[in-house]
């Protein structure tokens, strides 16, 4: 009845992040596992537009700070399970995501095989948390804006949040880091890209792919005034 048995068993996964290069990087990681993971295209609005077993939500530079993405994904009837994919592994953050309805939490530190295994396990209703790799395999990392320019993923994330217009305090809150860590990243980031001010860094970011592909930038609405 079904032409391909492999496709029938493959986990249907939507990769969700506002930076296409990030989603593409994850897709690239999964390329060698096409018989086990079927990456589903998002619709024109970058939404999950067809049924998927798992929406894999990458937390890189989230454009909303209230974790509402997870709740939105959970409430999408086309999504069976939402799995959060993040470097942040503290229990308080994991709990927060789960309480928002996530059905899985996967560390970005896992190698591709571990990610695949985690997705399959979650789809099958098994263990939800996949935080550590189980053997010493080489971790193949994904992709992010600014990587070609020499930015680490964390540096890139901070710059992306600057490019969204967030203050240092807001970035610290968004990333669960200390303000001091943020300042350190900013310092390093400016040094790398040759910026000497926030506005210049922001403009550099806009020119180098740091603008989210979904335009949900935090900035003020116009204030009309009669003149």
Residue listed under structure tokens 């296409």: 20
Q: Is 133 exposed, middle or buried (0-12, 13-18, 19+ CB in 10 A)?
A: middle
Region near its own copies per CB under 8 A, out of 55-63, 71-79, 86-94, 218-226: 218-226
User: By the 8 A CB rule, do 157 and 151 touch?
Assistant: no
The item of DNA, its own copies, none sharing an interface with residue 124, based on CB under 5 to 8 Å by kind, is none
Which residues between 187 and 206 bind its own copies (CB under 8 A)? 191-200, 202-204, 206
User: Cβ neighbours of residue 112 under 8 Å, at least 6 residues apart?
Assistant: 29, 30, 32, 33, 140
Indicate the Cα dihedral angle 173, 179, 184, 188, nearest 10°. Answer: 40
Asked if 198 is part of the footprint of DNA (rule: CB under 7 A), the reply reads: yes
Residue 169 near its own copies by CB under 8 A: no
Helix axes of 153-163 and 179-193: crossing angle, nearest 10 degrees: 90
- Does 194 bind DNA (CB under 7 A)? Our answer is no
Choose which of 31, 51, 127, 187 interacts with DNA (CB under 7 A): 187
The rounded distance, in Å, linking the Cα atoms of 133 and 115 is 9
149 binds, among DNA, its own copies, none (CB under 5 to 8 A by kind): its own copies
95 or 148: CB nearest its own copies: 148
Q: x/- binding map, residues 89-128, to its own copies, per CB under 8 A?
A: ----------------------------------------
Q: Which of 101, 95, 73 is nearest to 13 (CA)?
A: 73
Considering only 7, 134, 167, 206, the residue that binds DNA (CB under 7 A) is 167
| Per-residue contact string for residues 134-153; x = within reach of its own copies by CB under 8 A | -------------x-xx---
139: partner contacted, choices its own copies, DNA, none (Cβ within 5-8 A by kind) = DNA
- If binding is defined by CB under 8 A, does position 186 make contact with its own copies? no
101 torsion bin: left (phi>0), alpha (psi -120 to 50), beta (else):
left
Q: Which does 125 bind (CB under 5 to 8 A by kind): its own copies, DNA, none?
A: none
Nearest Cα residue to 127 out of 98, 92, 99: 98
User: Closer CB to DNA, residue 38 or residue 130?
Assistant: 130
Q: State the sign of the Cα–Cα–Cα–Cα dihedral 47, 49, 116, 134.
A: positive
Interface residues with its own copies (CB under 8 A) are 147, 149-150, 162, 165-167, 191-200, 202-204, 206-208, 217-227
């Amino acid at each position: 009845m079904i032409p391909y048995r492999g496709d029938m068993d493959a986990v249907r996964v939507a990769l969700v992040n506002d930076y296409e290069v990030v989603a593409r990087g994850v897709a690239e990681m999964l390329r060698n596992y096409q018989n086990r993971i079927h990456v589903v295209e998002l619709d024109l609005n970058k939404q999950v537009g067809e049924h998927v077993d798992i929406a894999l939500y990458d937390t890189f530079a989230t454009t909303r700070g209230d974790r509402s993405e997870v709740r939105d994904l959970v409430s999408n009837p086309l999504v069976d399970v939402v799995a959060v994919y993040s470097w942040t592994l503290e229990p308080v953050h994991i709990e927060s995501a789960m309480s928002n309805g996530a059905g899985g939490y996967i560390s970005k530190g896992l190698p591709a095989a571990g990610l695949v295994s985690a997705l399959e396990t979650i789809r099958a209703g098994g263990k939800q948390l996949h935080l550590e790799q189980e053997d010493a395999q080489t971790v193949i990392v994904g992709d992010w804006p600014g990587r070609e320019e020499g930015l680490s993923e964390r540096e890139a994330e901070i710059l992306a949040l600057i490019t969204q217009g967030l203050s240092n305090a807001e970035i610290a809150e968004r990333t669960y880091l200390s303000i001091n860590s943020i300042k350190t990243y900013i310092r390093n980031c400016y040094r790398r890209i040759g910026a000497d001010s926030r506005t210049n860094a922001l403009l550099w970011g806009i020119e180098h792919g740091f603008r989210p592909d979904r335009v949900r930038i935090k900035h003020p609405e116009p204030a009309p005034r009669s003149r």
